[in-house]
Amino acid sequence: MVLQKLIKKKILKASIEVAFKEDDEIIIESFLDGVEVSVGVITYKGETKVLPITEIVSENDFFDYKAKYLGQSKEITPARFNSRSRREC
């Protein structure tokens, strides 16, 4: 799997052509700039509990395979949010 982040729209067509050389299906998504977080939810003894919010800080351009599975990120629990942002999550 190849993952690419485009900065300039003018290279989109060429990037799509390269992607189709790798596979016959591709996914194109718009970039959402913000803080990457993870929130676990468990059911324990019949009660559903929301675990603390974890902030994920990638060493890479974004939270990719290497960041997630090869240790190229830090997980900060609880996430560094103010109380209002925490309630909105």
Q: Please tell me the distance from the alpha carbon of residue 31 to that of residue 37, in angstroms, as a whole number.
A: 16
- pTM of the model as a whole: 0.66
> Is 41 found in the same domain as 62?
yes
Nearest to 50 by CA among 62, 64, 35, 40: 40
What pLDDT is recorded for position 87? 64
What pLDDT is recorded for position 85? 65
> Could you report the per-residue pLDDT of 27-46, keeping only the tens digit for each?
998 888 888 999 999 999 99
> Is 19 found in the same domain as 38?
no
> Could you report the per-residue pLDDT of 36-76, keeping only the tens digit for each?
999 999 999 999 999 999 999 999 888 888 999 999 999 99
Domains contained in the chain, number: 2
> Is 41 found in the same domain as 18?
no
> Is 37 found in the same domain as 6?
no
Taking residues 10-19, report their average pLDDT.
Answer: 91
Name the residue range of residue 84's domain.
32-88
> Is 53 found in the same domain as 25?
no
